Amino acid sequence: MNRSNLPETSVMYRALVDRDPSFEGIFVVGVKTTGIFCRPTCPARKPNLENTEYFANVKEALALGYRPCKSCHPMELYGQPPAWLKPLLAEVDRDPSLRLKDADLRARGIDPARIRRWFKKHHGMTFQAYLRSRRLNEAFGRIRHAGKVIDSAFDIGYDSLSGFNEAFKKATGFVPSRSAQQNVVIVTRILSPLGPLFAGATDDGICLLEFTDRRMLETQITRLRKLLGAEFMPGRNEHFDNLDAQLGEYFAGTRRRFDLPLVMPGTDFQRMTWEQLRSIPYGQTRSYREQAVAVGNPNAVRAVARANGDNRIAIIVPCHRVIGTDGSLTGYGGGLWRKRFLLDLERGVTGKTGLI
């Protein structure tokens, strides 16, 4: 296990004993004597230090055979910003031009090392990098909608146009004056009971939805960047609120079909395969061979499997509904435990996996 982003064991154990909410999202703890893993704030009786094992995320705990605690429900919205961080994120949302030094964070009662660690873990960037991206994304939106470069630069707090141009190009790969012609994929994090999802959208619709711990995520981003001729930037997109709402309804068991515009560039065969995935009814499955027949080529079982693996929009384009001919669960980039969860959810089976 990679512990490079975790605090010292003594610090985590003290947080567990104190039920310290500021450590929510930083670690989960496995209890060796029970085989259960918990949040730092779990109300259950605390184990002895020698009986605890610490993990950076739910996936690591599950991989070693731990089961989620029924008292603190660590699977529910794992990765949600902890209470100590929410006011600061709200402040940034109100003013994307905000600049905060370590001293400013300490003045707000926030340890700069802790917020840096949280952002590196959940966003893959430091908090300062996040602030820079928000400022640049705000400027991009203004420029793209006919704003003047120099006005946008000064409005978001840059002291010189040259400094703004340099920072903007470093972050996006193009100069501000080309913003109106440049395609951009806006990305964000969507929470789910199975862990956070990395979502991407253009003006035309959702183009990316992957679990943040999927190994193929960086490859998918690279491919999308090339296919769409686009750069990736964090921020807001009009499609994200609808995506978040519909995913919430899906996991609550009240939505069976998604009604979202999708952007799915690929080969003719890939697009045909992905459309056939969307035709598999909720609560049902199809074998890879049946999927090959559906796309009109019964001998293309392996090609269908590759196209399924290249699907960039999890859950909505339901590649989890394709299984082995013998009924086995195979080939899901988000992990077979997630595939089992999704299929059980759609079949109305609760409690069978121990996750719902």
The CATH number for 148's domain is 1.10.10.60
Q: Are residues 137 and 105 in the same domain?
A: yes
In this structure, of 68-77, 100-109, 194-203, the range with the lowest mean pLDDT score is 68-77
In this structure, of 119-128, 185-194, 220-229, the range with the lowest mean pLDDT score is 119-128
3-class DSSP assignment, residue 183: strand
**Model's pTM, two decimal places?**
0.62
Tens of pLDDT, residue by residue over 38-50, are: 999 999 889 999 9
Residue the block writes with tokens 């109305």: 348
Instruction: State the catalytic residue, choosing from 38, 69, 72, 207.
Output: 38
Residue pair 143/176 in contact by the 8 Å Cβ criterion: yes
Number of domains in the chain: 4
In this structure, of 33-47, 77-91, 151-165, 335-349, the range with the lowest mean pLDDT score is 151-165
Last residue of a domain, one of 251, 280, 308: 251
Question: Does 285 have pLDDT greater than 50?
Answer: yes
207 classed as catalytic: no
Last residue of a domain, one of 37, 68, 99: 68
Is residue 162 included in any domain, yes or no?
yes
Q: Are residues 100 and 172 in the same domain?
A: yes
The Cα 69–Cα 31 span in angstroms is: 10
Is residue 79 included in any domain, yes or no?
no
- The mean pLDDT value of the chain amounts to 82
Last residue of a domain, one of 180, 211, 239: 180
Q: Are residues 170 and 240 in the same domain?
A: no
Instruction: State the catalytic residue, choosing from 42, 69, 72, 319.
Output: 319
Is residue 335 included in any domain, yes or no?
yes
For residue 196, the enclosing domain spans 184-251
